[in-house]
Every structure is written in C-alpha cells, then in structure tokens.
C-alpha cells in the first residue's frame, strides 16, 4: 500500500523543537510538489527553475506548516483558544487547525481587505471573525496585546513555533533535489517565511548536508515595500492583499537572513505581479493567488536587469492557491471580464464555433 505523507511534524520530528510524545494536530500539511518549469527558466535565462507549490497545502497556503506546530504546542500548553491577525491565509489556517484541535479561534482581519475565498475559509472553520478598522499592522498590535493580557494563545509568526514548522519547506526542497538551489525566491510580507527558509537551510548547512546557503531573494509589492525603503511604511497599498504589510514582524530575522545568505530585497509593481500571475497559470499550469506571483515577478525583473546567471538553479516558492482570489483570473489582460461563449448542443455548430477541421 502506498505510504501517505504524515504531515510535517511526523515527517521531520527529529529535526523539530517538539517533545516526541506531544499529541500532534495535523491536516497532512507539507510534502508539496516542486514543479520543474523549463519555460520559466528560459524566460529568465536560468539553467533550471522549480516552483514550490505551497497552494497544495490543506488550506491552500504555506501557513499550514507553521500552524500545525503552533496549534499542536498551544494545545499541549492547555490553550483553549488561539488568536491571530491576518491578511487572510493565516486566519484560514488557524481556523482549520483550531477546528481539528477542538478549540476556539479568533481572527482579526483588516476591514474590507481580505479576499472572499479566505474569508469563506475562516467562516467555514467557525472562527470568531473581527474586522478591525485598520490595516494588518494594527491587527497584529491588537492580537499581541490581547494574547499578552488575556487567556488566548497567539499563532502569528512572531510565535517561534510557526517559523519552526515553516522551515520544513527547505528540508523538502533539499530532499527532493538532493542539493540546495543557488537562489531561493519568494514574496515577502511579514518576512516570517523568508526567515523560516533561512532557518531550514542554516540547519541543513550545520548538519553537513549543504555547503553553501541559497541566496534568498525576497520581493515586496511596490506600494508596500518597507524592506526596500529601509523603514516601516505607514499606509501600505497593493492589490496583493496577502502582503499588504507595512511593518514586518520578523524585521531583524529577515535582515540577518538577507545578509548571511547574500540575498536581496526588491519590489515589483502591481502590474508586474498581475502579469506574472497570468503567465504562471497560462504557461506553466500553476494557478496561484496574485500575491504568490510576486517572487517570480521579481525574478523576471532581475533577469531583465541582467542579474540572473545562466547556470543558476532557482527555486521559487509560490505561497498560496489561485482559488483563494479568483477575481483577477476572471479578467483578461485589459481588465475586461472574461465570459464563456454560450453555444447550442449541436456538434457541427460547435465544431464551427471552435474552428475544428473535419477528419
């Protein structure tokens, strides 16, 4: 019988900071595909490009890797409720894992700024949802405040259990390829994921599996790019709502990761994000939410600037599933709504419509 993937805690228990007897709360997260993308490699002039498709996690984003650890540990510590601030994916994940654990979840979201798909997930998993009149950064301040003063456990990535779980993505990349890529590219919001990948690669290096760390390239949306500005942004704006964050929680960890990995932060415009979002689904067959295309969009920007070596092996993490934010996919490149053509049930009429030749 085929072995089913057991979730990141069971699969990597020896490399995670967790007591082996702790009851694990899992939905089978991790083990996501690394999709080889030769067409994208050609587009950016690199030797090889793979997409780490994190939308294949149980709730459709990479957050599940960290959430299994955070909720497992919260329950082990006796928590009866978890809380998070979120641009949508963390809340979907927290709500699902809390439902599995049989505890309450409270999610704080910026009013009007999360996608319907993500809101539906939080509702489906019966989270208590509060829309805060403010942005994500305000939500996080509020979540931290409540968790410090009331009986509710914080599961944002400022909780180290989250990064501990998310580092398993680096292990999977190495386990699959048998080497570490020259570059690892991803979108950056709070920079928790960027910091978690670095943690994973550092441990692989410490344990003698790899000698050189991948250069980590982190990309932000131009209207929401505090790492590029070098300071927090008061009013971040971008269509990439998942990464609409002005004051990243993992600032110091991320700066250290960039320095030690010899990496870079840069930004891309909303137009570049949407164009890459379309390219990935049209040409590669991978449907991601717009925010998740930010890394690949950044790599293309680097390629145009002559910054991608022709012998480079590159992994790009695409962080969340396209079904979470379908609005952009339903429009063409001119912003017009795409409507399927209506047709009769007659084969010859339909063949005419399709321009099919008779055999």
> Cβ closer to ligand F0G: 112 or 208?
112
Structure tokens at 47: 């030797």
User: Site map for ligand F0G, 212-251, x if CB under 6 A?
Assistant: ------------------------------xx--------
Q: Is 149 helix (H, G, I), strand (E, B) or coil?
A: helix
* DSSP code, position 283: I
Pick the closer one to ligand F0G by CB: 181 or 246.
Answer: 246
Nearer to ligand F0G, 7 or 189 (CB): 189
State the DSSP code for 320.
B
Residues 6+ apart with CB under 8 A from 338: 330, 331, 332
- Minimum separation from the CB atom of position 236 to ligand F0G (A): 11
Q: Which parts of 264-293 interact with ligand F0G (CB under 6 A)?
A: 289, 291-292
Which of 57, 170, 193, 267 contacts ligand F0G by CB under 6 A? 193
- For residues 225 and 245, give the distance between their C-alpha atoms in angstroms, rounded to a whole number: 8
Of 115, 121, 147, 190, the one binding ligand F0G by CB under 6 A: 190
User: From the list 110, 165, 189, 214, which residue makes contact with ligand F0G (rule: CB under 6 A)?
Assistant: 189
Which of the ranges 44-52, 176-184, 186-194, 334-342 carries the binding residues for ligand F0G, by CB under 6 A? 186-194
Q: Which is nearer to ligand F0G, 21 or 244 (CB)?
A: 244
Nearer to ligand F0G, 63 or 125 (CB): 63
In angstroms, the CA 293 to CA 274 distance is: 8
Contact 121, 144 (CB under 8 A): no
For 68-129, the DSSP string reads HHHHHHHHHTT-SEEEEE-SSHHHHHHHHHHHHHT-EEEEEEETT-S-HHHHHHHHHTT-EE
The answer to whether the beta carbons of residues 125 and 95 sit under 8 Å apart is yes
User: Using CB under 6 A, which residues numbered 297 to 356 contact ligand F0G?
Assistant: 319-320
Residue-wise DSSP of 191-257: SHHHHHHHHHHHHHHHTTS-SSPPEEEEEEEGGG-HHHHTS--SS---S-GGG--SS-TTHHHHHHH
Cβ closer to ligand F0G: 261 or 319? 319
Single residue of 30, 58, 181, 192 touching ligand F0G by CB under 6 A: 192
Query: 108 with 168: CB under 8 angstroms?
Result: no
* Binding-site member from 32, 59, 61, 105 for ligand F0G (CB under 6 A): 61
The percent helix, strand, coil of the chain (3-state, each to 5) is 45, 15, 40
Cβ of residue 221: shortest distance to ligand F0G, in angstroms?
10
The two three-digit tokens of residue 134, written as one number: 């403010």
143 binds ligand F0G (CB under 6 A): no
Binding mask 71-90 for ligand F0G (x = CB under 6 A): ---------------xxxxx
Residues of this chain that bind ligand F0G (CB under 6 A): 61, 63, 86-90, 157, 187-194, 242-243, 289, 291-292, 319-320
């Amino acid at each position: 019988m085929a072995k089913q993937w057991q979730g990141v805690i069971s699969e990597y228990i020896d490399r995670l900071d967790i007591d082996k007897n702790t009851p694990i709360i899992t939905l089978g997260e991790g083990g996501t595909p690394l999709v080889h993308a030769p067409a994208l490699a050609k587009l950016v002039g690199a030797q090889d490009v793979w997409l780490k498709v994190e939308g294949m996690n149980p709730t459709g984003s990479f957050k599940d890797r960290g959430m299994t650890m955070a909720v497992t540990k919260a329950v082990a510590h006796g928590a009866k409720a978890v809380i998070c601030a979120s641009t949508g994916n963390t809340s979907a994940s927290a709500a699902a894992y809390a439902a599995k654990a049989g505890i309450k979840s409270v999610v704080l979201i910026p009013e009007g700024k999360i996608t319907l798909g993500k809101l539906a997930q939080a509702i489906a998993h019966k989270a208590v949802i509060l829309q805060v009149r403010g942005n994500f950064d305000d939500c996080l301040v509020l979540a931290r405040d409540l968790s410090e003063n009331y009986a509710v456990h914080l599961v944002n990535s400022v909780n180290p259990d989250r990064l501990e779980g998310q580092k398993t993505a680096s292990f999977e990349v190495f386990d699959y390829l048998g080497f570490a890529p020259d570059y690892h590219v991803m979108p950056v919001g709070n920079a928790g994921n960027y910091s978690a990948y670095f943690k994973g690669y550092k441990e692989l290096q410490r344990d003698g599996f790899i000698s050189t760390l991948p250069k980590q390239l982190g990309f932000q949306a131009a209207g929401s790019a505090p790492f590029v500005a070098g300071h927090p942004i008061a009013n971040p704006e971008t269509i990439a709502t998942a990464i609409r964050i002005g004051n990243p929680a993992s600032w110091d960890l991320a700066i250290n990761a960039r320095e030690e990995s010899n990496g870079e932060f840069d930004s891309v415009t909303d137009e570049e994000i949407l164009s890459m979002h379309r390219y990935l689904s049209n040409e590669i067959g991978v449907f991601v939410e717009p925010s998740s295309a930010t890394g690949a969009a950044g790599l293309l920007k680097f390629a145009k600037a002559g910054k991608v070596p022709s012998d480079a092996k590159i992994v790009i993490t695409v962080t969340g599933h396209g079904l979470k934010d379908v609005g952009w996919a339903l429009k063409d490149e001119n912003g017009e709504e795409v409507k399927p053509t209506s047709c009769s049930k007659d084969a010859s009429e339909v063949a005419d419509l399709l321009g099919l030749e008779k055999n």
